[in-house]
Amino acid sequence: MRSPEPWEFNQLRRRNNVVVTLGGDVLIVRSKNPHRSYSWNFRIFKMDSSNEETKWEEIFSLGDEAIILDLGITVLAKDQEGVTSNSIYFTAHEMYRFGADIFVFNLDTNKVEQLPQLVSSVSFSEARWFLPSFRND
């Protein structure tokens, strides 16, 4: 792994992700953070195509859903143990190209929390998200 150049430490890492909600809405999630910093900032825009012209409206709440940013989807977080509603779950490996850290950004508090690492022997870039599903029979 190469050492970062001095100018990279002050550079902002920016990224746009497309996310589809449970209801079929299309979102653009814009993220940025200073290089090698845990101070992420997220903005969410929802496509409004109710008229002939497509517009993007900034939204500030996901309600009972949570975004799994790496998969580009939302999941129902209400009544799901361990999943916080109105939050964005993401990994830092694509931003830094190292590490296996999972983070959650809470839209209510605008704070990032690092989740405990579950498996240290597996590179997260090789891992896949797993969400349990429950049946009501």
Residue 86 has pLDDT above 90, yes or no: yes
pLDDT over threshold 50, residue 68: yes
Q: Is the pLDDT of residue 125 over 70?
A: no
Residue 116 binned pLDDT confidence (cut-offs 50, 70, 90): confident
CA distance 48 to 129: 29
Bridge partners of 102? Answer: 91
Query: Taking the CA atoms of the chain, what radius of gyration do you get in angstroms?
Result: 16
- The residue extents of the domains of the chain are 6-119
Give the per-residue pLDDT at 4: 45
Alpha-carbon gap, residue 2 to 88, rounded angstroms: 29
Average pLDDT, stretch 50-76? 90
